[in-house]
Copies of this chain bind each other. A is one copy, B any other.
Amino acid sequence: MSDSQFIIKPRWVIPMNGKQATLEQHAVLVDAGKILAVVPKNEIPEWASDWPVVDCSRHALMPGLINLHAHSSMNLLRGYADDHALMPWLNEHIWPAERQWVSKSFVHDGSLLACAEMLSGGVTTFNDMYFFPQATIEAVKRSGMRAHIGLVIMEFATNYATTANEYIRLGTEVRDQYKSDTDISFSFAPHAPYTVSNATFEQISTLAEQLNLGIHTHLHETRAEIQQSLEQFGVRPLDRLLALGILGPSTVCAHGVHLEQSELEVLATQGTHIAHCPCSNLKLSSGISPVAAALRAGMNVGLGTDGAASNNRLDLWQEMRTAALLAKVSDDNAESIPAYTALEMATINGARALGLQDQIGSIEVGKQADLIAVRLDDLNSLPCYDPISHLVYVAGREQVTHTWVEGNLRYHRSEDGQTVFQGMETEELRSIALQWQLKIQSSQS
């Protein structure tokens, strides 16, 4: 027996393996960061009889959630500018603030706060896109999360880089530095069709293939983006990116709000993934992504929060519920995106989109022990006829009590309400947030 061996005994196991919806009276054995076995509680092998047990008898145990589209360091701009559409929000509020504030320390501190928010809400992996990715990685390593880092590329100058070539050079340097890190993976992240040239997209397509990296971009987020592309390039952004070799089975497109049926079929054929961000799409008045139709077309759809400046919560529970509820109206069918499908979007679908489906996204023997326990016996969750329904339509992120990444308990909320992160002090994090708030606030007025 070693410290890295333990048994979790939950009320329900929600494996997300496409076979059983729930397992009752089962235990999950974790060894050296991986899932060693899933067995009935009364059939725990003799050799594990002295392993420590984590009692989760009031909980559902499920795979850690995967946030498929984030700009983590924007946590420092949470609620900075509300009630604006995407383009004025970017041009008049967010980009000016970023010009003033974005730096290595801004990115590190914002990402650290985002990691804490995500871990406490049961997110174990996120797919990021922002400047100074090395600073985000440093925060991720401290938090103990798993991250897929988008190496951002755009044509215009920011505090991080000046030219597309410089963005690419800086990004590949970071990737080279961490390429042997098993908890960090990478994509090239050409920001969006309206900020990246054809030549740069082509260069990225080639490089991604050479280096075996994925691609993470924004696509068809707003009608204005499509209109601008039609005026400038004579085609919709999706057609342009297709021609430039950007769309494929290793590409994650964030948003995909305005997609016609024929475009869903193109994406399905290409194997391209969508990171559906329903709350951000509503808040910026972008629209409602046709995700039920996308799933019917055979596409893989995961869920993202977007950044805290446009959501304003990095809360996958909120995204699951909103995705399930919205689809019923936008698809005009109360059976669209039932609870189980929403759970798949937040777990195994996200893993597939990042090419990590053999490592994370479900509770299966041999996979990483990225696991969360969710209390389902608080008064607001009773009665409970079906834990799957409650996880999507009832539970809040505050019901997450344990978040393990690779078998390490990175976040825990105890019975007496104390929250503990491994390697991060809550008071230190609060103090970091308040220092940035004071600085940024002083420049607002």
Interface residues of A (CB under 8 A from B): 76, 78-80, 82-86, 89, 113, 116-117, 120-121, 279, 281-288, 311-313, 315, 322, 325-326, 328-329, 332-336, 338-339, 377, 379-380, 382-386, 389-390, 393-394, 396-398, 416-418, 426, 429-430, 433-434, 436-437, 440-441, 444
Contact = CB atoms under 8 A, between A and B. Distances in A.
Contacts of A121: 380
Contacts of A89: 334
A436 B385 CA distance: 11
Given A82-B386, A83-B338, 17 more contacts: A78-B385, A78-B394, A79-B385, A84-B335, A85-B334, A86-B334, A113-B379, A113-B382, A117-B380, A285-B336, A286-B329, A312-B393, A383-B433, A383-B440, A396-B397, A416-B418, A417-B417
Contact of A82 (B84, B382, B393): B393
A282 B328 contact: yes
Most buried by B among A326, A328, A334, A434: A334
A334 B285 contact: yes
Contact of A329 (B281, B328, B380): B281
Nearest to A378: B430
Contacts of A322: 322, 325
Most buried by B among A282, A417, A418: A282
Contacts of A339: 82-83
Contacts of A283: 325, 328, 334, 393
Given A379-B117, A379-B430, A398-B398, A79 B384 contact: yes
Nearest to A383: B437
Most buried by B among A380, A433, A437: A380
A312 B389 contact: yes
14 contacts: A79-B385, A79-B390, A82-B393, A117-B380, A281-B329, A285-B332, A286-B329, A288-B329, A311-B393, A312-B390, A379-B433, A383-B433, A383-B434, A383-B440
A441 B387 CA distance: 13
Nearest to A281: B329
Given A287-B329, A328-B282, A416-B416, A382 B430 contact: yes
Given A285-B333, A335-B84, A426-B379, A437 B79 contact: no
A429 B379 contact: yes
A39 B164 CA distance: 56
A335 B85 CA distance: 8
Nearest to A286: B329
* 4 interchain residue pairs of minimum CB distance: A417-B417, A383-B437, A382-B433, A285-B334
Given A377-B430, A383-B78, A433-B383, A284 B334 contact: yes
Contacts of A385: 78-80, 437, 440-441, 444
Nearest to A332: B285
A309 B287 CA distance: 28
Nearest to A432: B382
A429 B377 CA distance: 11
A132 to B, nearest CB: 19
Nearest to A86: B334
Contacts of A433: 379, 382-383
A279 B325 contact: yes
A121 B380 CA distance: 10
